[in-house]
Amino acid sequence: MYTKIKELHLEITNQCNSRCPQCSRTFGTTLEEQPWLTKNPNELSADEIRKIVFDPALQHIESCYINGNYGDIVMHNDPMSVIEVLAERKLQSIRIHTNGGAQSTTFWKELAKYSPKLMVYFAIDGLEDTHHLYRRNTRYDVVMKNARAFIDAGGKAVWQFIKFDHNKHQLEEAKNRSQEYGFRWFEHTMPYNKKELSFGISVKDKNFEHSYWLGNKGNEKDIDNPQTLQDQYNGTKPIVKRMHEVTPVQFINLVNDSPIKCRPKDDQVLYIGSTKRVWPCCFLGGRWSRTNDMDIEQSSLNNYFKEYVEKFGEHFNSIEHYSISDILNNLNNFKKIEQDWNTPSACGVCTTICSSSSDWKTKEKKKEYVNESK
């Protein structure tokens, strides 16, 4: 399964300057309930990444992309040192996903020298009057200044636009601007969870108090009603889209018979998060962050990860204690993940993302080349 890893996915920090409403950073009532973000800031150093990418077990990697569960590269203490290490590795491609709302224009100009192998995906969800409604704590003018500094210095960039009711009327204008400013292509997608938006998202301020609604304001439909859910997912309809749409018991009952097709396994991808743990994918890595770095007794997923700790030891996939080769040569821990596909699991991560009955992977995405020659 992990003999010829082709792609490496890194989360180099768990810190972010933005507070997007559908991001895992905004789960909870107060930041104090998220100690893995506030009390224990994590990041991968350039030295740690050097050990990772030059490990013999990863000799076949062709590409790397930096995209965090919780963090953005712009908040790393020394992001340029990380890119320098990846450039030394002579990968075919490096992809960075960012809100682009921090760092100086000097940084973005310097980053451009690593193109054409390096490409930056800027999350720009609207124009001057709408972008900030979803990309909280970022400013459209700052993001565009940084993006243009990168592009004008020779960098390859992509404009990523998430369509909401409040910005969809600006789609064509945004695409036109992407061409004018020199983005290589313009990519637009639907939100992470269209169903949630149809009921409305309460956007919270820095104190986790309600600020405004995205979607249909204050729709009181009960998405947790068991009978409604059972009717909705009856027969040939997709079984489930998100764990938070159902109770844990309902979720397990609905997905137990759902076969898994593991995309990271098929694509030979490996994920390493800012907690310095190796996982097959970011979804498992993200769930570990939210359980192990908090009071694990308070987590509905605790039993699932407790089994790993009890069976393989607390540091079974930690790069602070083992090399990548050591971790991948002891595949029993990853084999257990596959074994759990066929047994009821309190985790449900694999079923949510990679089951044949989940419609997560059918998310609409459209790429339009606006400056293909750049």
Task: Return the pLDDT at 129.
Answer: 94
CB 34 within 8 A of CB 28: yes
Task: Return the pLDDT at 297.
Answer: 43
Distance CA 258, CA 247 (A): 17
The predicted-structure confidence for 264-322, as pLDDT tens digits, reads as follows: 888 889 999 998 999 888 888 877 766 655 444 444 455 667 777 777 888 888 999 99
Task: Return the pLDDT at 192.
Answer: 59
Three-class secondary structure of residue 117 per DSSP: coil
158 or 246, greater pLDDT: 158
Distance CA 239, CA 242 (A): 10
Residues near 11 by Cβ (< 8 Å), separated by ≥ 6?
Answer: 44, 66, 67, 68, 69, 70, 71, 271, 272, 273, 274, 282, 285
Residue 198 pLDDT > 60 = no
Residue with tokens 């009071």: 295
The residues that bridge with 210 in the sheet, in sequence order, are: 204
Above pLDDT 70, what percent of the chain?
A: 64
162 or 234, greater pLDDT: 162
CB 74 within 8 A of CB 17: yes
Distance CA 71, CA 41 (A): 10
Going by their DSSP bridges, the two strands 63-66 and 93-98 should be labelled as parallel
Answering whether pTM is above 0.85, one says no
CB 321 within 8 A of CB 315: yes
Segment 233-238 mean pLDDT: 36
Task: Return the pLDDT at 307.
Answer: 73
Task: Return the pLDDT at 365.
Answer: 62
Task: Return the pLDDT at 355.
Answer: 67
The predicted-structure confidence for 211-232, as pLDDT tens digits, reads as follows: 777 764 443 333 333 333 333 3
Split at pLDDT 50, 70, 90, the class of 197 is: low
| Whether residue 79 has a cis bond before it, omega within 30° of 0 | no
Q: What are phi and psi of 68, to 5 degrees?
A: -90, 155
The residues that bridge with 260 in the sheet, in sequence order, are: 355
334 or 29, greater pLDDT: 334
Edge to edge, the sheet with strand 63-66 lists: 278-279, 269-272, 7-10, 63-66, 93-98, 118-123, 156-162, 185-189, 365-369
362 or 42, greater pLDDT: 42
To the nearest 10°, the Cα dihedral for 73, 105, 78, 9?
Answer: 30
The b/e string for 275-287 (b: 16+ C-beta within 10 A; e otherwise) is bbbbbbbbbbbbb
Residue with tokens 């309930």: 33
CB 83 within 8 A of CB 108: no
What token pair was written down for 255? 């997905």
14 or 337, greater pLDDT: 14
Task: Return the pLDDT at 294.
Answer: 45
- In terms of average pLDDT, the best of 170-174, 250-254, 322-326 is 170-174
- In terms of average pLDDT, the best of 35-49, 143-157, 359-373 is 143-157
The predicted-structure confidence for 104-137, as pLDDT tens digits, reads as follows: 999 999 999 999 999 999 999 999 999 999 898 9
What token pair was written down for 76? 């790393």
To the nearest 10°, the Cα dihedral for 150, 151, 157, 160?
Answer: 90
Above pLDDT 90, what percent of the chain?
A: 42
Is residue 88 exposed (0-12), middle (13-18) or buried (19+ Cβ within 10 Å)? exposed
Task: Return the pLDDT at 226.
Answer: 32
CB 100 within 8 A of CB 74: yes
251 or 323, greater pLDDT: 323
Task: Return the pLDDT at 217.
Answer: 45
373 or 164, greater pLDDT: 164
Split at pLDDT 50, 70, 90, the class of 203 is: confident
The predicted-structure confidence for 53-109, as pLDDT tens digits, reads as follows: 999 999 999 999 999 888 999 999 999 999 999 999 999 999 999 999 999 999 999
